[in-house]
């Protein structure tokens, strides 16, 4: 168990693979922790990569500063963590809010991000009123009150019928309320369209055919902001295709590393 004591938060992180290999950094979604990437990391074993993942503030085993949070706060945490881990340049794989962190970090630190994978995310996700309504419900009735609706966005119907989906529901409900709300506030205030359109780097967008949180058309439109980028859609997957279809997700990631980044 590794904790980076940053000026802004204590960030839990984990590393697998070759410590001397190309760094691939994974950023998870709202309401999940770094276990989101277990299936992908397992499948990347033996490829000579340094695989780093972390719990953003207010999630998993990281500390939970009092909200509000901003996207700037989340990007600052991530940038400082990479300094702490002596990662000068990396491929950044971000899902949902993790993808928003990746977009803004790449625009602020183009020297730091050599390639970007944006999964089930967008330059702007939802409208402020929707996020305010969600925050109000959580503050009134807790995360359990939204859990079933969230799982309908996260997973296809067939996956929700499997016992393991209960583990993801428990993960969501055990997220600190302040951490979840703080990240909702950061998403609500963020419109990264202009900064993302300024990016000039290899980029892959990944959508899920059954994603109700960030539909594929939204992911595709964000990917298209960056010249030369590619978009792929994973069938029979909702908002978390790295969980539901880890073979397909890892395959697209490996193809991006080999064909776009010549790893």
- What is residue 65's DSSP assignment? P
Where does the pLDDT of residue 204 fall: very low under 50, low under 70, confident under 90, or very high at 90 and above?
A: very high
% of the chain residues with pLDDT over 90:
100
Per DSSP, helices labelled H in 86-203 are 97-108, 128-141, 144-154, 157-160, 165-173, 177-188, 193-197
Question: In terms of Cα–Cα distance, which of 57, 50, 1 is closest to 181?
Answer: 57
Report in angstroms the alpha-carbon separations of 83 from 62, 80, 141.
Answer: 17, 5, 39
Q: How confident is the model at residue 217 (pLDDT cuts 50, 70, 90)?
A: very high
Question: What percentage of the chain reaches a pLDDT higher than 70?
Answer: 100
For the beta sheet containing 230-234, the strands, ordered from the edge strand earlier in sequence to the opposite edge, are 2-5, 10-17, 49-54, 22-27, 90-95, 113-119, 203-208, 230-234
Answer for the pair 68, 101: CB distance below 8 angstroms, yes or no. no
**What average pLDDT score do residues 219-245 get?**
98
Is residue 248 reached through a cis peptide bond, with omega within 30 degrees of 0 on the bond before it? no
Number of Cβ within 10 Å of residue 189's Cβ equals 14
Overall residue count recorded for the chain in this entry: 263
Q: How far apart are CA 14 and CA 17, in angstroms?
A: 11
Strands (E), 10-156: 10-17, 22-27, 49-54, 90-95, 113-119
Q: For the segment 85-121, what is each residue's pLDDT rounded down to a tens digit?
A: 999 999 999 999 999 999 999 999 999 999 999 999 9
Which pLDDT band, with edges at 50, 70 and 90, does 195 fall under?
A: very high
119 contacts 256 by C-beta, under 8 angstroms: no
Tens of pLDDT, residue by residue over 129-177, are 999 999 999 999 999 999 999 999 999 999 999 999 999 999 999 999 9
Per-residue model confidence (pLDDT) at position 17: 97
Confidence at residue 230, expressed as pLDDT on a 0 to 100 scale: 97
């Amino acid at each position: 168990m590794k904790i980076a004591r940053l000026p802004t938060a204590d960030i839990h992180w984990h590393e697998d693979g070759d410590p001397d290999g190309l760094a691939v950094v994974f950023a998870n979604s709202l309401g999940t922790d770094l276990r989101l990437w277990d299936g992908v990391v397992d499948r990347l074993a033996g490829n000579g990569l340094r695989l780093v993942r972390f719990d953003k503030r207010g999630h998993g085993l990281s500390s939970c500063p009092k909200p509000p949070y901003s996207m700037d706060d989340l990007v600052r945490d991530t940038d400082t963590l990479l300094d702490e881990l002596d990662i000068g340049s990396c491929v950044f794989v971000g899902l949902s809010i993790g993808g928003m962190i990746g977009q803004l970090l790449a625009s602020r630190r183009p020297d730091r991000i050599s390639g970007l994978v944006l999964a089930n995310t967008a330059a702007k996700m939802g409208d402020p009123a929707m996020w305010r309504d969600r925050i109000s419900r959580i503050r009134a009735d807790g995360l359990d009150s939204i859990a079933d609706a969230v799982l309908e966005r996260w997973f296809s119907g067939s996956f929700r019928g499997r016992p393991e989906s209960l583990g993801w529901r428990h993960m969501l409900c055990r997220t600190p309320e302040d951490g979840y709300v703080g990240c909702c506030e950061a998403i609500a205030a963020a419109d990264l369209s202009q900064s993302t359109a300024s990016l000039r780097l290899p980029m892959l967008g990944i959508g899920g055919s059954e994603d109700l949180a960030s539909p594929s058309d939204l992911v595709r439109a964000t990917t298209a902001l960056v010249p030369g980028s590619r978009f792929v859609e994973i069938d029979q997957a909702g908002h978390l295709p790295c969980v539901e279809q880890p073979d397909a997700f890892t395959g697209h990631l490996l193809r991006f590393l080999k064909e776009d980044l010549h790893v």
